[in-house]
Amino acid sequence: MANPLFDTLFGRYVGQDTAFLHLPDGRTITHGAFLEQVARFAHVFVELGAQPGDRLAVQIEKSPEALAVYAACAQAGIIFLPLNTAYTADEVSYFVANSGARVLICDGSKVDALGPVAEAAGAVLETLNADGTGTLPDKAEDKPAVFETVPRAAGDLAAFLYTSGTTGRSKGAMLTQTNLLSNAEVLADYWQFGSGDVLLHALPIFHTHGLFVATNITLIAGGSMIFLPRFDLDRIIADLPRATSMMGVPTFYTRLLGDDRFDRELVQHMRLFVSGSAPLLAETHARFEARTGHRILERYGMTETNMNTSNPYDGERRAGTVGFPLPGVELKITDPGSGRTLPDGEVGQIEVRGPNVFRGYWQMPEKTREELREDGFFITGDLGMIDSRGYVQIVGRNKDLIISGGYNIYPKEIELVLDDQPGVLESAVIGVPHPDFGETVVGVLVTEPGAAPDPDAIMAAAGQSLARFKHPRKLVVLPELPRNAMGKVQKNLLRTQFDGLFK
């Protein structure tokens, strides 16, 4: 195949009038029409000077056109770099500069903020709005509806997805065509996706879950998607009767369970509910089954590895576990100190190897070496064990990470901002249980002697540099931070102390 990713996911649909995207306004976009848009965008990217292997960064709202940008990058051999729409200009600036993006596409409302960012990085700026208008579609209008697919090898890079790091610096995970394709093929088969599937898609498309897992699987299987701009409870309840399957983070399921309209009758025709990106409480699993008769299928993945494990489609879906390693994925539990493989039943760090595992972090060879072993095993930073029946259980994290509503938040990044505020001597940021988001952010401050920092000013400063979802939902002041004999802040003690803040 000349370009395995494009040919497998998209190319075979050229000229087909099969349904691909069902939109909230009642329109359905066919595969064929979608691919004409893709071809036009690919022509624009070439005209803008983007070469195969260049990076194209986007910070755009979810729309059929936004998805077409992803496909157009695949067709033109450009590396796709999607960014969370919540990121501030400061945050975007880092990603654009670090990746050396040739093109940045943003929402029209962000041009003032991102114009200087693009200019400083030497990137071309184009716009694409949620309603499909903007300078990119304007330029695409008179372009041909066919584009000669740029040849790429299976090992070539297809996407960069940035993940935050424990040092506060985000790392660009380099994903190859094989990483994405192998995983989509395995999952479509494992979860028995077919051409009759209609996936209710309410996830963002700037992360692995909504972009690769949901979209690529649907494309491989030949199904269609009800493509919603975001999670909207009323919309989901209205659309569920037309869907066969749904994927979400645990917050989706707890929100649905909080609504009386979500009952057995509404979903009795559904084939599959999948959960991932954050731990699904066993209690949510049980409540879901009691209410609907369906058992949620929980799986486990990461930006760097795509999906690693899954509960079985046929067979017992065990609450509190993430199932078995997927076909082709090796998983072992190791001792964090020695790296020795531990026997089943013992808790250690989870390591994975397979065609799903990324190539490394962009221009960070040392970080890559720390986490990706020479033999191909990736150290996930998650702690887990394999139970007597072979199911993998995640029991904690060996990395200082908070997962709020499926978004990853690295405390260090927030601590750096808090520590900079007048009157703040030092800070520790922790995650505490939250009924809606699973975990939420709490900032623990120690003030300078005699100082009384203004919480509103601190939050305003955080708003300047950090996306809203990273903001502490509460700031608390302590006389000092608990430390161990080595001087390391004992966040576990803080988490225990503030465990009940949102309960």
Q: Which residues bind ligand AMP (CB under 6 A)?
A: 163, 208, 276-279, 298, 300-303, 322, 380-382, 394, 397, 403, 408
Q: Which does 179 bind (CB under 5 to 8 A by kind): ligand AMP, ligand MLC, none?
A: none
Using the minimum distance from each CB to ligand MLC, give the nearer residue, 386 or 441: 441
Using the minimum distance from each CB to ligand AMP, give the nearer residue, 3 or 310: 310
Using the minimum distance from each CB to ligand AMP, give the nearer residue, 123 or 352: 352
| Tokens linked to 500 | 């009940």
Binding to ligand MLC in span 465-484, by CB under 6 A = 468-469
Phi and psi angles of residue 422, each rounded to the nearest 5 degrees, phi first: -55, 135
**Residues contacting residue 493 through CB under 8 Å, at least 6 positions apart:** 482
The span of 36-44, 64-72, 115-123, 202-210 binding ligand MLC (CB under 6 A) equals: 202-210
- Nearest residue to ligand MLC, using CB? 405
| Contact criterion met (CB below 8 Å) for 205 and 247 | no
CB of 338 to ligand AMP, least distance (A): 22
Using the minimum distance from each CB to ligand MLC, give the nearer residue, 150 or 243: 243
Cβ count within 10 A of residue 216: 23
State the Cα–Cα distance between residues 98 and 121, nearest whole angstrom.
Answer: 9
| Tokens linked to 459 | 């939050």
Q: What share of the chain is helix, strand, coil (3-state, %, to 5)?
A: 35, 25, 40
Using the minimum distance from each CB to ligand AMP, give the nearer residue, 56 or 278: 278
**Residues contacting residue 217 through CB under 8 Å, at least 6 positions apart:** 184, 187, 188, 191, 193, 199
- Per-residue contact string for residues 77-116; x = within reach of ligand MLC by CB under 6 A: ----------------------------------------
Q: Which of 251, 254, 311, 421 binds ligand MLC (CB under 6 A)?
A: 251
CB of 300 to ligand AMP, least distance (A): 4
Is 277 a binding residue for ligand MLC by CB under 6 A? The answer is yes
Is 204 a binding residue for ligand MLC by CB under 6 A? The answer is yes
The span of 288-296, 299-307, 420-428, 474-482 binding ligand MLC (CB under 6 A) equals: 299-307
The span of 12-20, 117-125, 404-412, 488-496 binding ligand MLC (CB under 6 A) equals: 404-412
CB of 55 to ligand AMP, least distance (A): 19
Q: Which of 354, 405, 411, 431 binds ligand MLC (CB under 6 A)?
A: 405
- Nearest residue to ligand AMP, using CB? 303
Torsion angle defined by CA atoms of residues 227, 229, 231 and 233, in that order, rounded to the nearest 10 degrees: -80
Phi and psi angles of residue 463, each rounded to the nearest 5 degrees, phi first: -65, -30
CB of 279 to ligand AMP, least distance (A): 4
Q: Which of 183, 311, 404, 427 binds ligand MLC (CB under 6 A)?
A: 404
Left if phi > 0, otherwise alpha if psi is -120 to 50, otherwise beta: which for 320?
left
State the Cα–Cα distance between residues 88 and 91, nearest whole angstrom.
Answer: 5
**Residues contacting residue 414 through CB under 8 Å, at least 6 positions apart:** 427, 429, 441, 443, 462, 466, 470, 471, 472
Is 207 a binding residue for ligand MLC by CB under 6 A? The answer is yes
Is 208 a binding residue for ligand MLC by CB under 6 A? The answer is yes
Is 203 a binding residue for ligand MLC by CB under 6 A? The answer is yes
Q: Which does 382 bind (CB under 5 to 8 A by kind): ligand MLC, ligand AMP, none?
A: ligand AMP
| Tokens linked to 28 | 């359905």
The span of 16-24, 207-215, 315-323, 456-464 binding ligand MLC (CB under 6 A) equals: 207-215
DSSP type of residue 341? B
- CA geometry: angle at 387 spanning 386 and 391, to 5°? 70
| Tokens linked to 184 | 């989509």
* CA neighbor of 125 nearest in space, from 97, 72, 117: 117
Strand order in the sheet with 224-227: 28-30, 19-22, 224-227, 198-201, 245-248, 272-275, 297-302, 306-310, 324-325
Q: Which does 231 bind (CB under 5 to 8 A by kind): ligand AMP, ligand MLC, none?
A: ligand MLC
Q: Find residue 474's DSSP bridge partners.
A: 442
CB of 407 to ligand MLC, least distance (A): 4
Q: Find residue 383's DSSP bridge partners.
A: 349, 396
State the Cα–Cα distance between residues 186 and 153, nearest whole angstrom.
Answer: 20
- Using CB under 6 A, list all residues that contact ligand MLC: 203-204, 207-210, 230-231, 249, 251, 276-277, 301-303, 404-407, 437, 468-469
